[in-house]
Amino acid sequence: MQTTLKLEAAAATHKGNVRSGNEDAYACCPEAGAFVVCDGMGGAAAGETASHLAVSTVVERICAASPGAEPRKTLESAIAAANRRVFSYAQKDFSLHGMGTTLVAAVICGHHVVISHVGDSRCYLFHLGRLIRLTNDHSLVDEQVRLGQLTPDQADRSPLRNVITRAIGTQKTVSAETGELDLETGDMLLLCTDGLTRELSDERIVELLQALEAKRAPVETISEALIAEANAAGGRDNVTCIVTRIAG
């Protein structure tokens, strides 16, 4: 697949201030309009294996799709393939048993984007100075908030906030949540792991984006600034983000 839009995209990742390794993985392929972020789990080697397997599988499938392929079906099929691959590896190697990963992916085709995710890695749209969250966390506390059992503030402080309810590779099949929307020139997409959103509130993220956009900062500067701010706020987890601007 190829996109006809002019996209400016940059990715950044860091292990943070506490973890010894980095279990996040990403792919930033503006020429194909494909962007993927994963946050592995299951122990250092297993988490890293899961996230990299998932990213590589999704990107391979998207790039191999025919020019006329439907983006939504292509992305959902790619995620299903990634789930099968991670699950299969975990079954064959006892040291990898139980590994999994979150995944958030975006495919841009024309002025249209398809976004699909599993777990608590997120996608945001920055549009006309406003930050709009496009994904719902597949997590225990997020479900409790939706059911009215917790307030958002209580969820942020909950000791169970790291418990996710869906992941790539932990079961034979997985249900990804997929959405679509149209984009305008100047819009930005932010894909990120929870290493960013656990350290920075949505309010802080939008403040940073507004300030950087006012300076016409390049996407490379924006992605690095978000990572630096997350680390300055504690950096208790690996942190990864992709920033994509619709340039025309």
* Rounded Cα distance, 176 and 215, in Å: 37
Position 2 scores a pLDDT of 64
Domains and CATH numbers, the chain: 7-138+165-173+183-246 (3.60.40.10)
Q: What is the pTM of this model?
A: 0.95
Go through the chain and tell me how many residues it has.
248
Position 4 scores a pLDDT of 67
User: Which residues lie closer than 8 Å to 54 by C-beta, 6 or more apart?
Assistant: 25, 36, 38, 82, 83, 85, 86, 101, 103, 168, 169
Structure-token pair, residue 178: 């997929």
Residue 2 phi, psi (nearest 5): -135, 150
Helix (H, G, I), strand (E, B) or coil at 173: coil
- pLDDT tens string 168-188: 999 999 999 999 999 999 999
Structure-token pair, residue 196: 């960013």
Helix (H, G, I), strand (E, B) or coil at 131: strand
10 or 144, which is more confident: 10
